[in-house]
Chain A
Amino acid sequence: MAVRGLELSGLRLTTSAAALLEKKPRLDIEHFVLRLSRAAVEALLPPGTPVKRVERLGGGAILLAVETRGLRATVEVRPGASREGRLRLEVVSVKAGIFPIPAMVWTAALRSAVPRRPGLLLTAENRIEVDLRVILRRKGVEIAPFRAVRVGEDVLELVIGDPPVRGAEGNR
């Protein structure tokens, strides 16, 4: 189903009143499904990033227009959820116009471009992994692991945690 902008559903979380009153909310996020359109993903790109546009979402991949040091390229990324519950971004190909850039060239560029920050990893297989649990814990937020990441036609879907077991809602 098409999505216009951002759609969040199934959000389940807990917080304590004491934390709210202290204005230091400690949240424990158990589950949500976030669906983003191409335009929404583009709008959420952090400022200063070499990614200038999101060209396309579809077929399990994200096509990004990247510009760095005067060089323009189109990067195909396949997102997914790692076994450890991290958001995994796998660079599949990089092209300058219609010409593919050899993997050994963009691999070196990727290694120097990914900043060293807690919660951000570059694996030996050149996959960027984002561990939201590590990033958000520093802000007082506990979050369940990524369960699934899907890319459909003009939609990116992120699933955090597990949905409630049917029939268990009334028992809480």
Chain B
Amino acid sequence: MGGDESYSKFTQQELPACKPILTPKWVVSVFFLVGIIFVPVGVVSLLAARDVVEIVDRYDDACVPANMTDNKLAYIQNPNISKDCTRTLTITEDMKQPIFVYYQLDNFYQNHRRYVKSRNDGQLRDAAKANQTSACEPEKTTADGKPIVPCGLIAWSLFNDTYSFTRGNENLTVDKKDISWKSDREHKFGKNVYPSNFQNGLLKGGGTLDPAIPLSEQEDLIVWMRTAALPTFRKLYGRIYVDLKKNDTITVRLSNNYNTYNFGGKKKLVLSTATWLGGKNDFLGFAYVIVGGLCFFLAFAFTLLYFIKPRKLGDHNYLSWNRHPAGR
């Protein structure tokens, strides 16, 4: 044997190796270090989350005319009743631009298995694949068998409430450019794919699409088709590049088209600023502070324990056969 030194070290399982041992020093240092990192990060995140100003307005119930509150479904399904609705929002804190306009849906299972699978990404990219509607059931073709572009439940259920904002007499323009992912516009939705046979069925799921505009420019559709992970979700509607002051009153003119009344869903309008951490959610900050604090506590607890019950490392008196010599 022998020959190649490192090879023989390998075969004899004697490769040079590091054998870390969890000594008291290590344990306390690790907890201490985690605490030192986590508490400040937590505090910073908390402060950042506090800085975010968020205004949420649930409007689905409020926009139903008083005489129809008992039969919301009839209201939303009747095309002859106007769906226009006006809401007034008061700004609670100063809001720096850009202000993000979201709509929030509650109890809308965009992650329902029937729903998430019902799409065909090939069709969306390539005009030549308009007939490729597999997996799009039950919104695959029209009754006379023509392929729907874009097909599938997701597209069919496109959200179609619209909002416009005024502050006093000043129109606050909502910038609806760039609300979707650039990668989606460039690679996922074709520049030469145009909607066809869309929303022609008996049951209308949601919005319609202008057949003259290619899918890559239908940003609302693109946003909608990035299906949400959780049943309560927000989607970006647009941005307002105007600073809003505290106590400003904003009038929202909205058309309440989208039917959430049939399944007990809620619709909310959200105006929010943003930080590096995203929106107004102080969970992360609390989590960091609590975990950091816990680690400090553990560091002290272990220090205490090690003092109360010290043990000499590697003392062979602790070996079981030395502790109970007659035990065997």
**Are A and B bound to each other?**
no
